[in-house]
């Protein structure tokens, strides 16, 4: 019987690569959330996160000995915790019972976070494999759950890290280092598990190909837009009438009652008389009402309309609560730049302002 400690490889390469890529994807998704300009990075991190979870689920059945779920020690959690702070504490070469539970809980929460993220992307943003399958309202609700469960998962990860540090101290071994090297010390007779290098090469190659495919637009186009919104209805008369003075704001940005008020007060349109003939007013008003914010043609249309009280009929898009909230953190110096000049100059920052879609990640603040 072997009584001296020796190192043995228990974590194969795919398990280690998975672990640290999952950490990286979670950190990247966390850092890129909350700012719509980085939605494309957040979505990529989410896709990577989900792909890694699926790989780990498969590897839990076909991987090496200590990576297989059937060899996890979840059922021994009671005895493990009872002796944890005593001299009779148990040492496990693979995942201890607490670690086994942590793996299952993090995998489960991760799948929920990824699924709610996909549903949010499809409902609220109208992008991804589930685009348009659910309503804006449900997508917005799932966005809240996506964020909340992600916070809960962050708490579980924090507990997991504390557990790893505690286990390392109690058994005088560096478990974090083991997940880099794959090696742990033991006094029992054990043999190294296979490296599974080909699987690792496949995993890393898939990541490289995925990154190149997802981000290649930035290399090919000067003003790349990762998300393209729907093609909104247009009207030549609308374009001609509006562009004489400013950007032809798409009617989906304001509710129908705002456009009705606009044409009713066309002789005093921001201290200007539009001099529109009755036939022109009828055509423009019909186009505006048919494509107003209530029709929820885009995310920004839905959010604008939701933020306007029913008794209000704003004429300025910059007075809408949603617009104010989204722009309140922009430094005053930005508004004073010559290329911006005033708050209604949307195309100074939004690449798709003329299309009226105002997609996330299609905005760039001028320097």
Read off the CATH number of the domain in which 154 is found.
1.20.950.20
Domain identity same for 298 and 196: no
Report the distance separating Cα 149 and Cα 357, nearest Å.
30
16 and 102 both lie in a single domain = yes
Assigned token pair, 304: 């604008």
Note the pLDDT of residue 3: 59
Q: At what angle do helices 136-171 and 13-32 cross, to 10 degrees?
A: 130
Neighbouring C-alpha atoms within 13 Å toward the C-beta of 330: 20
User: Smallest Cα–Cα separation from 184: which of 104, 102, 110, 99?
Assistant: 99
In a domain, 353, yes or no: no
CB-CB contact of 74 with 97 (8 Å): yes
- What integer is the mean pLDDT of 217-223? 88
Q: How far is CA 202 from CA 56, 61, 198, 238, in A?
A: 14, 18, 6, 54
Look at residue 5 in the predicted model and tell me its pLDDT: 74
Pair 11, 82 in one domain:
yes
Helix (H, G, I), strand (E, B) or coil at 186: strand
Asked if 228 and 243 touch (Cβ cutoff 8 Å), the reply is: no
Q: Are residues 74 and 214 in the same domain?
A: yes
Residue holding tokens 């950007």? Answer: 247
pLDDT 10s digits, 93-142: 888 888 899 999 999 999 999 999 999 999 999 999 999 999 999 999 99
Residue 49 counted as domain residue: yes
pTM of the full predicted structure? 0.90
CB 365 within 8 Å of CB 36: no
Which residue from 31, 58, 64 is spatially nearest to 46, judged by alpha carbons?
A: 31
Q: What average pLDDT does the structure give for the chain? A: 92
Q: In the prediction, which pLDDT does 1 show?
A: 46
Q: Is residue 207 located within the same domain as residue 268?
A: no
170 and 34 belong to one structural domain: yes
Find where tokens 């009438």 sit: 241
Inside any domain, residue 247: yes
Does 365 reside within a domain? no
For residues 147-166, give the mean pLDDT: 95
Percent of the chain with pLDDT over 90: 71
Quote the number of domains for the chain. Answer: 2
Mean pLDDT of 182-202: 85
Tell me the pLDDT band of 20, cut-offs 50, 70 and 90.
very high
- The answer on 128 and 76 residing in a single domain is yes
Identify whether 210 is part of a domain: yes
Q: Torsion angle of alpha carbons 200, 211, 35, 320, nearest 10°?
A: -140
Could you give the percent of the chain with pLDDT greater than 70? 99
Residue 358 lies in a domain: no
Q: Which domain holds residue 304?
A: 236-348
Residues 269, 143 share a domain: no
Q: How far is CA 112 from the centre of its chain?
A: 13
Q: How far apart are CA 295 and CA 253, in angstroms?
A: 10
Q: Are residues 214 and 246 in the same domain?
A: no
305 burial class (0-12, 13-18, 19+ CB within 10 angstroms)?
Answer: buried
My answer on whether 301 and 330 are in the same domain is yes
Domain-located, residue 30: yes
Q: Which of 269, 238, 273 is nearest to 253 (CA)?
A: 238
Q: Domain for residue 363, yes or no?
A: no
State the pairing for strand pair 6-9/183-186.
Answer: antiparallel
pLDDT score of 250 more than 80: yes
- pLDDT value at residue 192: 80
Task: State which of 169, 188, 220 marks the end of a domain.
Answer: 220
Q: Is the same domain home to 168 and 246? A: no
Rounded Cα distance between 179 and 156, Å, is: 19
Same domain, 318 and 204: no
d(CA 329, CA 309): 23
């Amino acid at each position: 019987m072997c009584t001296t400690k020796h190192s043995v490889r228990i974590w194969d390469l795919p398990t280690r690569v998975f672990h640290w890529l999952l950490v990286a994807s979670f950190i990247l998704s966390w850092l890129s959330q909350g700012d719509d300009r980085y939605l494309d990075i957040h979505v990529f991190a989410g896709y990577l996160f989900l792909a890694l979870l699926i790989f780990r689920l498969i590897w839990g059945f076909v991987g090496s000995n200590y990576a297989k779920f059937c060899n996890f020690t979840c059922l021994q959690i009671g005895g493990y915790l009872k002796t944890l702070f005593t001299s009779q504490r148990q040492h496990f070469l693979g995942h201890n019972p607490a670690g086994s539970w942590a793996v299952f809980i993090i995998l489960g929460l991760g799948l929920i976070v990824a699924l709610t993220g996909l549903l949010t992307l499809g409902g609220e943003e109208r992008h991804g494999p589930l685009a348009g399958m659910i309503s804006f309202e449900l997508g917005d609700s799932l966005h809240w759950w996506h964020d909340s469960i992600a916070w809960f998962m962050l708490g579980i990860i924090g507990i997991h890290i504390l557990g790893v540090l505690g286990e390392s101290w109690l058994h005088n071994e560096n478990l974090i280092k083991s997940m880099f090297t794959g090696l742990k010390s033991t006094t029992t007779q054990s043999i190294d598990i296979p490296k599974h290098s080909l699987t690792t090469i496949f995993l890393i190659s898939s990541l490289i190909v995925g990154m190149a495919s997802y981000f290649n637009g930035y290399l090919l186009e000067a003003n790349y837009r990762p998300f393209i919104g729907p093609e909104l209805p247009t009207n030549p008369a609308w374009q001609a009438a509006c562009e004489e003075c400013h950007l032809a704001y798409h009617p989906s940005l304001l509710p129908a009652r705002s456009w009705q008020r606009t044409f009713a007060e066309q002789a005093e349109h921001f201290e200007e008389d539009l001099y529109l003939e009755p036939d022109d007013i009828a055509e423009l008003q019909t186009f505006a009402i048919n494509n107003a914010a209530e029709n929820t043609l885009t995310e920004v249309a839905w959010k604008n309309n939701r933020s306007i009280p029913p008794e209000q009929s704003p004429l300025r898009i910059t007075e809408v609560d949603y617009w104010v909230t989204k722009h309140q953190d922009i430094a005053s110096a930005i508004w004073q730049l010559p290329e911006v000049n005033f708050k209604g100059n949307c195309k100074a920052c939004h690449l798709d302002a003329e299309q009226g879609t105002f997609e996330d990640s299609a905005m760039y603040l001028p320097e």
